[in-house]
Structures are given as C-alpha cells and as structure tokens.
Amino acid sequence: MSTAPEAVVSFDSVSKVYGTGAGTVCALDEVSVVVPRGGFTAVMGPSGSGKSTFMNIAAGLDDPSSGEVLVAGQAMHLLDDRARTLIRRERVGFVFQSFNLVPTLDVRENVLLPFELAGRRLATEEAERIDHLLDVLGLAERLAHRPAELSGGQQQRVAIARALAPRPAVVLADEPTGNLDTRSSREVLGLLRAAAREYGQTIVMVSHDPVAASYADRVLVLADGRLAGDHEAMSPQQIADLLIGFEEGVA
C-alpha cells in the first residue's frame, strides 16, 4: 500500500485539442495534477485559459484528446457514457453559478433529489446527518419553500446542501459565487471551506475571482491551457497580482 494521500481527482498529461488544421486550439496542454482527499482547491486563470475545459473533463462531460483522468478512483477516459453518468450521480456533487435547482420542488425535495434519482431510501443515520447539514446551512426554517421564494444566497446554500448530502468523493463548483452579492458570496465560500476543513469534503472550485480563490487552501493557475502555478493558500491581493502577471503575459 502506498502512503501517498488518496487521489480523488488526478490528471496525468491531459491535453484537449479543439478543431483541426489552422483552427486548432489547445485548451489543455499536458496538464498533470493530483487533488488529494479533503482539500479545497481553486482553479484560477484568465478567460480562455482552460478552466471550463478542466472542469468538464474532471466531470466526465468531455473527453481528453490524450492523457489519463481519474475521478474517485475511476479512469473516466476509459468508461462509457452510462458508467460515467453513474459516477457523476453517485460520486460527484455539483455547484453551479446558476444554482440549477428544480423550481417545482421545495428545499428538502431538492436536497434529497440525488437519493431519489439513485432510487435510494435514506437510512435513519443519513436522514439525521442531512437534517444537521440543513441546520448548519441555515435552511432548517425554509424546508417547505420553493427556490423562487428564496434569495440567491439561500438558493446557493440549497445547492451546496444537495451537493454535500450524498457525501460525494468530490464537489465540483463552477463559479459558485458568480451570481451572488458580496455578503452571500462570503457565506457560501465560508461554507465550502468549512465542508473541507471540518468534514474532509474534497472540493474543486473554478473561479476567476481572487477573493473566492483566497478561501481555498490550494490555488492552481491555468494559463494558455498549461498548469502555470500550484500554490498554497494566498491572499486575494497575492492572487490578483499573480493573475495580472498572466494576463499581461509577463509571468
């Protein structure tokens, strides 16, 4: 047995090339990175640097042109669509900029949707854990509300509860604060950080916002599809300076 920390997401020389001939774009260029269990990792980079491509490949929504991708111990690039769908449903939680809640379901029903889709009944211990999660996320008083009756910050907290409830191997968060005001953004980021620190939840978040990335304990920087930086926690100012360097092409 290896003593290295368990890799929850691992990219080994992953490249993604779009188009052919003169129109070829290398969206990811030989990216190798390991995300171990329990960390909160931010993926930063200027627009067009490959962040969405990175997320789509990690989520098994897109195939790499070359290289190997492991998610929750599974070689995603070798699996068929059905097997990937199962991993996405059972091992990966998603948090999107646009919340993606089901408008006709109330808060509790939205949070329990992953169990519903998997055809799984909740064990008592699980139901108690989810009640606790809803409480910690400040949603206990809102369980019967529909998304339209909630603020943006509350809706994103529901989406976080839904992502965390099945205890996925990894939560992939795509610009989770993109639609939120400053106060709600801080709340949401604090909750993601707490999920990683206190519950050992692995989180990978794409964001172009230095304040958001400063909540992470690791900051990966993409530039022109290459992994151009791999840093421990940094302040918003340090991250902003780093990004300006890449945008100006001097770093």
Q: Which residues bind ligand ADP (CB under 6 A)?
A: 18-19, 25, 27, 45, 47-53
Phi, psi values for residue 119, rounded to 5°? 65, 35
Nearest to ligand ADP of 208, 231 (CB atom)? 208
Minimum distance from residue 217 beta carbon to ligand ADP (Å): 21
Evaluate whether 122 touches 165 at the Cβ level (below 8 Å): no
Minimum distance from residue 42 beta carbon to ligand ADP (Å): 13
CA distance 10 to 99: 26
Nearest to ligand ADP of 60, 114 (CB atom)? 60
Nearest to ligand ADP of 53, 155 (CB atom)? 53
Minimum distance from residue 55 beta carbon to ligand ADP (Å): 8
H-run or E-run covering 120: none
Q: Token digits for 40?
A: 């909160």
**Sheet containing 25-36: order of strands:** 25-36, 7-18, 66-71, 74-75
Q: Taking Cα atoms as reference points, which of 73, 38, 31, 71 lies closest to residue 54?
A: 31
Minimum distance from residue 193 beta carbon to ligand ADP (Å): 23
Nearest to ligand ADP of 51, 108 (CB atom)? 51
